[in-house]
Chains A and B, each alone.
Chain A
């Protein structure tokens, strides 16, 4: 009995169910995917396409896509040039460049979604969309800094840049850098975790930050690019692979560079240079 429990505990919590190769997709190196029923929206270096794996793909845009964030049946497409499109997959509607004429600085480097709002990390600040209203903040502390990641923990906002992590307290950013114990100042990804924030760093691994306390979390790679959550567990993407946190150990999901990590229905999807890998909770 003890052996059986031990065996169950050792079983990985996710299992790869299928792979979609690049030949079934409009291009290699996919940077984001959204899906509504059988309609797939795929973004990457060669643009944005609508279709289904193995079927016909229709070009929506030929501009390089950085990432796609889904909120319900709406997909938010962030392009490499900083523009953001909104795509309603069910209604087959595309809203071009939603920040243009809506924001003073219509340029984004990152997108994050929570239950109430969308956060766009911008040039020297951030743009928050809640309902139809856009609110922009460009504090002097973020001058000339691109916000590469954003996340909200309760009512507190955390912003990542290439020059430190910023905690917005009472509307004023407080910077956490090398002096605060950060092993790296280039924040590539943020993920709320209870009352704290997890920050993925370009070459410094992963840290947990609560207020101004920085704690390094051991990871299999220090070149972190992506953070996600699947079935309540943390998924980490780095330049040399992707892992899921099982208890206190990291279980490998793939050993090549993940180009994005997301969720499609009840599946975890990891983009690789050669296609997509899909996982389910086991």
Chain B
């Protein structure tokens, strides 16, 4: 797998929560072929508040009037600090959850299955807070239902916090809200839909709400919300590490996510010219879960600079969060056999591509040009070709195989009994229009050992032989070896000093060996 240089890793540079209290905002849902919008029939949503965070699960049901094979397209976004934790849809009456995987793999399988008019759904992240899902085809006679599950933060509003509502096309919908501390929940029924708020009494000039979960990687991930009278003061966090901050736009509230080993104390200190304020909370993390870890991982993906596609992919898969390199693929049980076959096919294709390619130097077209026999490899650049084949000097032909970057390659054999001389391999490239172009590569069969004469000249041992020998080695009496240097075509030199010279070995490009004895 080649490295991908992501010069601008992820485009989000500032981390502001959206103003509107919309947690899961479905922007558009339409038929991909006709572009007709689907009509929303129902929204069922449930939110669970856990300290400063809220987990929301919403099912959007749409009328499906289409009687032909239809591909639905769904565009939605979340608050920027929120992360999608699950996506799925119903195929007939079966709920089909999305499986997070390499985006390339997901598209390979989705394309392979949809080409057979089968039924998967795929969801990709188009920006850190925006997503696009495709489902094809919809089960005729059944409503189109999609489920989104996300984790995000409550949204500060005056001295309370709003539980963001799901919405479709700008309209917000009602949801049920639960909390382990129901006394903190308030519902304003005068607005449509009813507005759910959470009231956490503010304790002093620096107030902190935290929620922690122990993740399966052994860390306890802590999500926190800070309210301070000194929004511009310097902040120092103790008790958690690898902390990422995000700031809602009201200025006085700050969100943070970090991690630590086990339970302990998290302490925040604000410091400015007027002095410092300290607030501490004890973290117990009795609950196991991945919600806070996902929030942390999402911020790490957004705020760190990632240079390698594979690193982004592995990190996303570890924390099971969507990223620019992953997709959620939902495949109904009926198609699981085909899915597994396609997944195996993809793995095989990836493995083939990942094999290390031969290091071609200076874009040469073959790796040997002089030989006494063997299996040279040939390579040509033919990006437009649909077929490339080579015709050997003895009339045999073989197809070259397409590899990366428009190159075609293959091996041919030089018979060990081929007479010495120059040979030409013709290469024909055929393009989609049926036009054929021709090029050729040549090789030389050489089985003649090089010969040479030696002389001593001004303290230098000088060899006269054929030009461009692969190596000329001087063997000394003590068993040491040194290479001679070609100073002009066919002339090789080495300063030998007083050392006793035994012989000089000449090796040509086809590895024929010649020897000249010397005594001094």
Contact = CB atoms under 8 A, between A and B. Distances in A.
Interface of A: 29, 45-46, 61-64, 79-83, 96-97, 100, 106-107, 177-180, 183-186, 202-204, 223, 239-240, 256-257, 273
B3 to A, nearest CB: 15
Contact of B481 (A79, A178, A184, A203): A178
B481 A179 contact: yes
Interface stretch (B181-189, B405-413, B432-440): B405-413
Given A29-B413, A97-B351, A184-B513, A179 B375 contact: no
Given A178-B481, A203-B511, A62 B348 contact: no
A162 B473 CA distance: 14
- Among A63, A178, A273, max chain B CB count under 10 A is at A178
Contacts of A82: 355-356, 358
Contacts of A203: 372, 511-513
B333 interface: no
B93 interface: no
B417 A240 contact: yes
Interface of B: 347-348, 351-352, 354-358, 372-373, 375, 377, 398, 401, 410-413, 415-417, 473, 475-476, 478-481, 503, 505, 507, 511-513
B44 to A, nearest CB: 44
Nearest to B449: A203
A83 B356 contact: yes
9 contacts: A80-B375, A80-B377, A80-B411, A83-B356, A97-B351, A97-B354, A97-B355, A100-B355, A178-B481
Given A64-B375, A204-B513, 14 more contacts: A45-B410, A61-B352, A64-B410, A80-B358, A81-B356, A82-B358, A96-B348, A178-B475, A178-B481, A179-B476, A179-B479, A239-B373, A257-B415, A257-B417
Contacts of B513: 183-184, 203-204
A64 B377 contact: yes
Nearest to A176: B479
Contacts of B410: 45, 64
Contacts of A239: 372-373, 416
A118 B484 CA distance: 38
Nearest to B412: A45
Contacts of A106: 356
Nearest to A203: B513
Contacts of B505: 178
B252 to A, nearest CB: 49
Given A97-B355, A186-B511, A257 B373 contact: yes
Given A179-B481, A184-B513, A203-B511, A62 B401 contact: yes
A141 to B, nearest CB: 14
A147 B478 CA distance: 26
B415 A81 contact: no
Nearest to B415: A273
A157 to B, nearest CB: 22
B352 A96 contact: yes
Nearest to B502: A179
Contacts of B352: 61, 63, 96
Contacts of B416: 223, 239-240, 256-257
A100 B354 contact: yes
Contacts of B375: 29, 45, 64, 80
A97 B351 CA distance: 7
A222 to B, nearest CB: 9
B390 to A, nearest CB: 12
B511 A46 contact: no
A177 B481 contact: yes
B373 A83 contact: no
Shortest Cβ-Cβ A-B pairs, 5 listed: A96-B351, A257-B416, A179-B479, A83-B355, A239-B416
Contact of B355 (A81, A178, A185): A81
A178 B473 contact: yes
